[in-house]
Structures are given as C-alpha cells and as structure tokens.
Amino acid sequence: MIELPISLLITSILGAMFAGFVCSTMGVFVVRMNLSSIGFCMSHAAFAGAAFGLMTSIDPLISAIIFSFVTAMILGPISEKARLESNVVIGFLFSIMIALAFIFLNFIPGQAASGTALRILWGSIFSVGYNDLLILALLSFILILFIVLFYKELLAVMFHRKLAESSGINTKLFYFAVLFFTGFAVSLSLRLVGGLLVYALIINPTSSAYQFFYDFKKILIFSPLIGIISCLIGFWLSLITDFPIGASIVIISAIIFAIAIILSPKRRRGNGMQYKKTLKAV
Amino acid sequence: MKNNTNVIDLENIETIYEGERTPVIRDVSLKVKSTEFIAIIGPNGAGKTTLLETINGLLPYTSGQGFVFGKMISKHRSEIRKNIGYVLQNFEIDPLAPFLCKDIVMSGRSGKIGMFRFATKEDWEEVWYSMGLVGMIDFAQRSIGKLSGGEFQKILIARALAQEPEILLLDEPFSNLDFSSRKQIEILLNRINDKHKITTVMVSHDLSFVPSKCKRVIVMDKGKIIMDGKKDWILTSDTINKIFHNGKGL
C-alpha cells in the first residue's frame, strides 16, 4: 500500500470526488443527447495537445486541456452549421486529433518525452494540486447552479429538442452549454483519471443510474453519486494495489454498471417493458 | 405589427430547406381567424408539415410575408412560439427514457415561464388541468416510455395545452393509432376547440378522420394550396377523389 502524507491524501480524495461529480453529472446529458463518443474524442484531443506541448516546450498538461476544451467548443458549431449528426463530427474530429498527435510525436526528440505525453492518457494519483481542487470545486458549484436554474429547460431539451424549440426555448444555447461544461469537466479530470479513461467516468455512472430510474431528477442525483463512489473506491483500490488510478476508477465503475444491469428492475420480465418497443406497436 | 382579425396571416410564402433549391411550399397564402378549426390535408410530401413549421417559425420562409398574432414571424419567432402549442407527428421514444408524464407536460410551459424562473403552484395547476382534460391525470407518475401510442399522443396534446396556447398546431395526430385511440383523440380535439376556443390547425393525410368541429379544409399538393373551403364541399369534390385515389387516402 502506498503511504501518503495526510494533506496529499485529502487533496487527492477531494479531487477524485469532484472529478467523479463533474464527469458523471455531464454524463447524464451526454448519454441522453447521444454524444457518448465525445469523451473518447476529447481524450485523444488531450493526447494530441500533450504531444503538441512537448514539441513546443509548453506544459503538456496545459496544452492537453486547451486541445480537449477547444475540441468540445468547435464540435457544436460544426455539427449545427454542417447539419451533421454530432457523432459524425466527433468521428471526424477524433481522426484529426489522433493524426495530429502522431505528427507532433514525430517531432519530439527522445522517447522520454513521448512517455510523458502518454502519461496524460492514464492519469496519476499524485497529480491533483490545490489549485486544481479549487477549479474543480468551482466547476461543481457552477454545474449545480446551472442545473438548478435551468432544470425545466434542460429537461425539455433532453426529451425532444424540436418540441422544446417549439415551446420557445433557445435549444442551441443549452446544447452548446452542455458541450462547454463537458469540455471543462474532461479537461479538469485529465490529471487524475487520464484522457483515455475519462470517457468511462462520463458514461458508466449515468448508464448505471439509467437502469433504476424513470425520473430525470433521480438520474441527476444518482449518476453523480455513483460517479463519486466509483472514484473513491477506485482511489482506494489504486492505493492498496498500486494500479493506475484511472484504470482503478474505470474498473469499479464498470463493475457497478454490470451489477446495475443484473439488478435493473427495468429489465425484469413481467414489468410490462420491452426493450425495443416503438409507438407503431400500438 | 399588422392589425387585423386573422391570427395567422401568410402572404405568398415560400419555404426552402437549407442546402436545397426547390421550395417545399410555394406561393402559399393563408388567413386563419381566431377560434377556427382547420384541417390541412394532402398526400405525403405535399408540404403540410413544412407549412405548420413555417407558421411557428421552426422553419424560416425564404420569400413572402408571414404574420402570427399580427407579429412578423421572422422577427418575433420565440415570442410567437410561446403562444403556439405544437404536437409533433408520432415519434419513437426509448422505452427506458427517464421522463415522467407530468414532467413532459410541464416542459410545454417552460418557454412561457421563462428563463431564470421556477414553476409555480399555478403552473402545476395548469399541468394537472391539461392532464385531466385529456383524461391522463392517473398517468402523471408513469414513465413516458411505458405508454401506448394513444396515451403518448394524449400526453403530447396535454403538453401543448399546458402552454395555454392561442393556436394549436397538430401534425398528423391520428397517425399510427388504432381506431379506438383515433376516436378518442377526435373527441378530445372537438372538445378543446369547442370549450377552450383555441384556434386549431391540424394536418392529416387521412380523409377519414377530419373532426366534426372542423368546418374548413385546405388541400395541399406539391407544395401549393390547391383548394380551400367548407369541409363538406371539399371532401366530396372530384379533385379530392383524384388526389386521394377515390377518397381512400394514401
């Protein structure tokens, strides 16, 4: 087991909790808007950013954050303007990012630097500093405020964007806001969870919560809760086994998801539910 | 601002989808008075849905002039929409979708309540009233994905009614419904127009379900209005028979 000074331990635990909260809160919207591959795309953007940072002697973490954030920011306008499915644009951006990453890596002298770029992808238990913690806490607070203030608009947009638009809601604003906050959540969680695995922290807790509830409000409460629990248990697992923290968190969240699938009342026979029921079957 | 008695006033409207050259609707002029109940009928692809979405500003028109409540649609889109209830053509919903019926009905009022404001007791009373009106009050706590087609359609109508609209736009409200559900929706639409005096514009490709309270029928074909008149006259005309293959619908 890794021995940590108490202050570092508290910072890391709080960091894990906030990362779990912001990622799995945004997961509720990302999953509902069918943008599941956004995390995957941004993690590769982070990888490209880290490679760019090493190539230009900028802090690779800063450049990784900027790359993943900018990717989230241009995703919305591109899919709106080009009238393309968001997942098509995500696939397009993903391939560009991975291509850029390889080009940047090609210009980095020595293998040690490439290793630094790769470390951005799997995160580190010791990487969360006091400033990171403050920013994560601030983002968590802003997210709670955003959801409380705009709950009715968010629910309408998540149900059906065109219907929400027809009621007089500016749906574009909320769509972009979700992308904006997801970009922030991913960027700030990179240090701890790692770019490659942050994707799972967005998807798994929400998918687990979806197995139990039909009420959007409950999903918004339980998804972050599962995210925080996954991060805390993952953190503990990482301490006792010396596994990479990102991997530990993902393993725990995946186990929770598997248990949720098994226990899900929505999937039990005799519940009046068919997994693929359409309105045409009236 | 236009001062007249028409709640909907379109003059030579043409709507072209982005990236396309051919207009979906062209040279459409339509005047609708307050409390009127109108059915727009025509074969698939006639431009009926495009016309509805031009009225509520979801689709911008490319030429002509459009006014709703005397306000120019292109300039007052968001404001106009807050007073127009829109019921979309039946769409698929994930059976696991995490939404309760009461929340979906309340979502219809979101635009009206406005940003930075929370739903009040009065807003919820309007939700219960609308759900009661469509006979779905017992379904308030049910998941939206668990409803049958007819029930889902009633919830969408309740959602539009919760908005307290002055105009109700209904896109194919009878599609994919069995006979009994169609009958229930027809009775409901008659009651809404009769009791609440809401101007109703309904789109359908099926001649057999034009509600009895609907006195005026508009026929569209290939993006144009080709007939506009009293229901009895329109439904028995030869043109209708030609378009709808002996009145059986498409």
Measured between beta carbons, which residues in chain A are less than 8 angstroms from residue B111? 167-169
Q: In the predicted model, is pLDDT for residue A275 greater than 60?
A: no
Please judge whether A214 and B98 are an interchain contact, meaning their C-beta atoms are less than 8 angstroms apart.
yes
What b/e readout covers B62-98, taking b as 16+ CB neighbours within 10 angstroms?
eebebbbbebbbeebbeebbbbbbbbbebeebebbbb
**What is the pLDDT at residue A270?**
55
Count how many pairs of residues, chain A against chain B, have C-beta atoms within 8 Å: 117
Please judge whether A159 and B97 are an interchain contact, meaning their C-beta atoms are less than 8 angstroms apart.
yes
Measured between beta carbons, which residues in chain A are less than 8 angstroms from residue B97? 159, 214
Q: What is the mean pLDDT of residues B184-196?
A: 89
Residue in A155, A163, A272 closest to B146 by CB: A272
Q: What domains does chain B contain, in order, with CATH numbers?
A: 1-83+211-250 (3.40.50.300)
Q: Which of residues 218-247 of B touch A (CB under 8 A)?
A: none
Residue A282: which pLDDT band, with cuts at 50, 70 and 90?
A: very low
Q: What is the mean pLDDT of residues B181-196?
A: 88
Distance CA A45, CA A92 (A): 12
Inside any domain, residue A272: no
**What is the pLDDT at residue B194?**
85
For A234-274, how does the pLDDT look when each residue is reduced to its tens digit (9 = 90+)? Answer: 999 988 998 888 889 989 999 999 999 999 988 776 554 44
Inside any domain, residue A278: no
Q: What is the mean pLDDT of residues A40-44?
A: 78
Please judge whether B98 and A219 are an interchain contact, meaning their C-beta atoms are less than 8 angstroms apart.
yes
Residue in A152, A167, A280 closest to B119 by CB: A152
Percent of chain A with pLDDT over 90: 37
- Number of structural domains (chain A) is 1
B21 touches chain A (CB under 8 A): no
Residue in B19, B107, B156 closest to A155 by CB: B107
Inside any domain, residue A180: yes
Between A257 and B150, the more confident residue is: A257
B111 touches chain A (CB under 8 A): yes
Please judge whether A164 and B145 are an interchain contact, meaning their C-beta atoms are less than 8 angstroms apart.
no
- For the ranges A117-126, A164-173, B95-104, B150-159, the lowest mean pLDDT is seen at A117-126
Inside any domain, residue A26: yes
**What is the pLDDT at residue A50?**
80
Distance CA A38, CA A92 (A): 11
Residue B250: which pLDDT band, with cuts at 50, 70 and 90?
A: very low
Q: Which residue of B has its CA nearest to A32?
A: B97
Distance CA B165, CA B109 (A): 10
- For the ranges A28-42, A75-89, B19-33, the lowest mean pLDDT is seen at A75-89
Measured between beta carbons, which residues in chain B are less than 8 angstroms from residue A159? 97, 99, 104, 107, 144
Measured between beta carbons, which residues in chain B are less than 8 angstroms from residue A155? 99, 103, 107, 110
**What is the pLDDT at residue A227?**
96
For A82-131, how does the pLDDT look when each residue is reduced to its tens digit (9 = 90+)? Answer: 777 777 888 888 889 889 988 988 887 766 666 666 666 677 767 778 88
Between B4 and B60, the more confident residue is: B60
Instruction: For residue B38, give how far its alpha carbon lies from the nearest alpha carbon of chain A (Å).
Output: 20
Q: In the predicted model, is pLDDT for residue B120 greater than 90?
A: yes
Q: In the predicted model, is pLDDT for residue A280 greater than 50?
A: no
Distance CA B33, CA B11 (A): 15
What are the percentages of helix, strand and coil residues in chain B, rounded to 5?
A: 35, 25, 40
Residue in B104, B112, B149 closest to A159 by CB: B104
Inside any domain, residue A81: yes
Q: What is the CATH number of the domain that holds A24?
A: 1.10.3470.10
Inside any domain, residue A172: yes
**What is the pLDDT at residue B93?**
86
Q: What is the mean pLDDT of residues A22-34?
A: 92
Instruction: For residue B245, give how far its alpha carbon lies from the nearest alpha carbon of chain A (Å).
Output: 25
Residue with tokens 């500016």: A170
Measured between beta carbons, which residues in chain B are less than 8 angstroms from residue A168? 78-79, 81-82, 110-112
ipTM of the complex in this document: 0.90
Q: In the predicted model, is pLDDT for residue B121 greater than 90?
A: yes
Going by C-alpha positions, the residue among A124, A80, A130, A75 that lies closest to residue A97 is: A75
Q: A122, A116 in Cβ contact below 8 A?
A: no
**What is the pLDDT at residue A211?**
93
Q: What is the separation, in whole angstroms, between the first and last Cα of chain B? A: 40
Q: In the predicted model, is pLDDT for residue B24 greater than 70?
A: yes
Domain that holds residue A239: 7-260
Q: What is the mean pLDDT of residues B213-222?
A: 92
**What is the pLDDT at residue B2?**
61
Q: What is the mean pLDDT of residues A204-223?
A: 95
